[in-house]
A and B are shown apart, each in its own frame.
Chain A
Amino acid sequence: MIRFILIQNRAGKTRLAKWYMQFDDDEKQKLIEEVHAVVTVRDAKHTNFVEFRNFKIIYRRYAGLYFCICVDVNDNNLAYLEAIHNFVEVLNEYFHNVCELDLVFNFYKVKENTSSGQTGQSHVFAVP
């Protein structure tokens, strides 16, 4: 089950944050900072999976953005990696060669695409 989705740039600015669990605002802020600290120090010779508190984070870096999904420990890592890639492809289709600024200026459209803790769509072309 997904706990939260976070898209951050290398400097640590949040471009998208979707929470599927109850957190206080300051807890959220702390989490964001922790995730940033953990994910930015890893380079190409590390795996894309990190143990984080009692969950794990599956992340992928696309240009200057880190797409992080925090899931339970016994979830399928590889499947979520695919999900991230799928998501990025959807964004690409929707925004036509998406870049960070698109996410910045259209964050509300991006938010609607993820819902209910599971990847709700497998259609690359149909975006509600």
Chain B
Amino acid sequence: MVASSLKLQDLIQEIREAKTQAQEREVIQKECAHIRASFRDGDPLHSHRQLAKLLYVHMLGYPAHFGQMECLKLIASPRFTDKRVGYLGAMLLLDERQDAHLLITNSIKNDLSQGIEAVQGLALCTLSAMGSAEMCRDLAPEVEKLLLQPSPYVRKKAVLTAVHMIRKVPELSDIFLPPCAQLLHERHHGILLGTVTLITELCERSPAALQHFRKALPSLQVVPQLVHTLRTLVMTGCSTEHSVSGVSDPFLQVQILRLLRILGRNHEESSETMNDLLAQVATNTDTSRNAGNAVLFETVLTIMDIRSAAGLRVLAVNILGRFLLNSDRNIRYVALTSLLKLVQSDHSAVQRHRPTVVECLWEPDASLSRRALELSLALVNSSNVRAMTQELQGFLESCPPDLRPDCASGILLAAERFAPTKRWHIDTILRVLTTAGTYVRDDAVANLIQLIGGAQELHAYSVRRLYSALAEDISQQPLVQVAAWCIGEYGDLLLEGTCEETEPLQVEKEEVLALLERVLQSQMSLPATRGYALTALMKLSTRLHGDNNRICQVMSIYGSCQDVELQQRAVEYNALFRKYDHLRAAVLEKMPLVERGGPQVDEEAKESKEVAQLSEAAPVPTETQASKLLDLLDLLDGPSENAQHPPPLDPTPGDTLIHLLDLPCAPLPPAPIPNLKVFEREGLQLNLSFVRPPGTPTLLLITVTATNTSGGDVTHFICQAAVPKSFQLQLQAPSGDTVPAQGGLPMTQLLRILNPNKAPLRLKLRLTYDHFGQSVQEIFEVNNLPVETWQ
């Protein structure tokens, strides 16, 4: 051995003196070499010191696995100092994944049965820290014995070890269940705490254990016992032994409350026993220090979880409200989190604390303000919506960027649900768009447009507001889009100059055009926004009086724009000016109200729908518009096909697109579908024949024909049919309910089946009839349906 082994303190000193990481590593490596040598050579006197040094080095993060066997040796040694360090090493170095850990099982077993408290304590400690499942199974009986030892120190440790064992191997609950009842009567708080934890674990892991503890047998009065213990804790003044800042043993109180919560959940009987106690705890606990608040908080959680009386629940919410007023942020955080969980179930109680919640919005700590925001949004209802929105909008203006999207969408949602008037709604959305425009969701634009479109009386008002907003700031894209759309639609109202609701605004035509042009040219505008602006300009050509030179000019400029979308629009609008000027007014009429819920935000689609509606009036523009649509969808090669021009379409908006698409294909002649014989019994035959009318591709007509070749009549014949859910079935009245014998007149019945999804057809038939004096009932599914019936 080269140098005398350093004492632990000296080693630590040396390591701390090392100035750089490299130096430290050097020192440690040197020392580790010593330690390894010493382990190899076996130095019984100093090996514990070596191991201690190794553990320190391990804590700093360096590898120390070579010390594992040494731990085992030290544990087996009779000296207490050795054992102590050995067990510590075992706790740190030997975990479940090391193979060597099972080797200490025997040593632990010996130590547990030895009878020296300190040693037993060490062994139990180690077992509870790193005991693996096998070890726990092996040593469970020993630990159980120790639960009943006279020494409270050992019992406490044994209980804690039992907790660990239950966590690892839930099946051991059979062993540890019986002693619990007795242990609950302990006076020693440490043991009591451990026992309560043990029972909590048992109940959480096995419903059988939960039942066991809930029973009110005379020998096993768990809930009353707990209640009694807690009551004593709360009522007796602080015993100095256990008090923490004026509250007697808050940890035990909290644990008992937790256990009561688990026992009382969904269980009327237990909950009733606890009600008084909980009220008592809630009122008697001193809340000036954190310990008291901790107990109070746990009480609130318990009240919320069990079947408590209504008064108790209100008490709980009030406690949370009081927490909110506390200056300590931690307590406010805890209160907000709990209130958030409660707001669904006890809405009215939480409403009372709304002002306090709103104040918490302005907290600098992000986690607090986020929770306050969520809670505030949950508390908005029809009576407080105006005030709340005011507050929330104020918050929106100054909140950190990561909260803005949530805040904005929350405000918009609340406005949608509770808006008192349409005008207020529009105002609110407008304000949100101006403050946080970039953070709103994409469908906000569509919603607003739809809302404005629907509020006829407010057109003038909205367009004015939007115009002023736009004039100030063209950077917020959703706002610009909505404004451009509105100006395009209602530009005439803008120029009229009279509206009671806003200040009189004198707007010149040139100003409007200039503004839209600015939007077009601005760097900040997205391509979609430019599209809106261009279309708006076009619409203004009909809305505003006077010549349209300026607009024409713009269109021709943009006819050669880089952006393909804009270029296309400009070219087409140009065409409208030049060749189809007489149609311009009709094409650019005011839009009808768009249906909510359709996924069409795209202006283009809306326009083509409007256009397609008019196409039946004027065949020729269909060409340009149809070509526009079909070009978009890239179905045709060139304009030549348009010459075979489509017959007038019926003006249902939804189907129009489909019809336009269908047109270039020639309709197929309906191929005849073969008949199908589906049923035969004692001379009664059932045949199905199918027809697919060419005009309606989703319709299938089935004719059921029943023929009777037997000697007896078939009477009271009823045929019923069933099809899968996506189909619609109509049974028409049969020709009769008797199928006469000997090939008499067959009975027919018509079935109409609509198959909008073109799903495979399945058909089940049920027949009831009387034949040869017997009543017959048959249910069967029709197989081998030809594919042409549904494709």
Contact = CB atoms under 8 A, between A and B. Distances in A.
Interface string B49-89: 00010011001110100000000000000000000010010
B9 interface: yes
A49 B290 CA distance: 14
Contacts of B368: 47
B250 A79 contact: yes
Given A108-B52, A116-B164, A47 B329 contact: yes
Contact of B160 (A25, A116, A125): A116
A128 B84 CA distance: 12
Contacts of A111: 88, 91-92
Interface stretch (B293-301, B570-578, B675-683): B293-301
B249 interface: yes
A22 B96 CA distance: 8
Interface string B630-651: 0000000000000000000000
A122 B163 contact: no
B56 A107 contact: yes
Contact of B125 (A14, A115, A119): A115
Interface string B82-116: 00010010011001110000000000000000000
Interface residues of B, number: 61
Interface in A70-128: 76-79, 81-83, 85-86, 104-105, 107-108, 111-112, 115-125, 128
A107 B60 CA distance: 12
B59 A17 contact: yes
A102 to B, nearest CB: 12
Contacts of B219: none
B727 interface: no
B252 A122 contact: yes
A29 interface: yes
B423 to A, nearest CB: 41
Interface stretch (B330-338, B380-388, B455-463, B488-496): B330-338
Contact of B251 (A22, A108, A119, A128): A119
A80 B273 CA distance: 28
B272 interface: no
Nearest to A113: B125
Contacts of A20: 129
A16 B91 CA distance: 14
A112 B157 CA distance: 12
Contact of A76 (B85, B97, B189, B254): B254
A121 to B, nearest CB: 5
B290 A25 contact: no
Interface in A5-45: 13-14, 16-17, 20, 22, 25, 29, 32, 45
B267 to A, nearest CB: 20
A119 B250 CA distance: 12
A112 B333 contact: no
Contact of B329 (A46, A82, A112): A46
Contacts of A47: 329-330, 332-333, 365, 367-368
Contacts of B331: 78
B673 interface: no
Contacts of B163: 116-118
Q: For the side of the interface on A, what is the size category?
A: 35 or more
B298 A79 contact: yes
Contacts of B293: 78
A12 B12 CA distance: 17
Interface stretch (B190-198, B222-230, B515-523): B190-198
Given A47-B329, A120-B160, A78 B334 contact: yes
Contact of A25 (B63, B161, B193): B63
A128 B153 contact: yes
Contacts of B8: 105
B242 interface: yes
Contact of A128 (B56, B95, B97, B121): B121
Nearest to A121: B190
Contacts of B290: 78, 81-82, 85
A82 B88 contact: no
A112 to B, nearest CB: 7
A105 B334 contact: no
Contacts of B334: 77-78
A86 B12 contact: no
A48 B244 contact: no
Contacts of A45: 329, 364-365
A41 to B, nearest CB: 12
Contacts of B174: none
A122 B189 contact: yes
Contacts of B333: 47, 49, 77
Contacts of A125: 241
B608 to A, nearest CB: 49
Contacts of B95: 22
Interface of A: 13-14, 16-17, 20, 22, 25, 29, 32, 45-49, 51, 76-79, 81-83, 85-86, 104-105, 107-108, 111-112, 115-125, 128
Nearest 4 interchain pairs by C-beta:
A78-B294, A116-B160, A116-B128, A79-B294
Given A79-B250, A85-B244, 4 more contacts: A78-B293, A79-B254, A122-B242, A125-B241
22 contacts: A17-B59, A45-B329, A46-B365, A76-B254, A76-B298, A76-B301, A79-B298, A81-B290, A81-B330, A82-B251, A108-B85, A108-B88, A111-B91, A112-B88, A115-B128, A116-B129, A120-B157, A122-B193, A122-B244, A123-B241, A123-B242, A128-B121
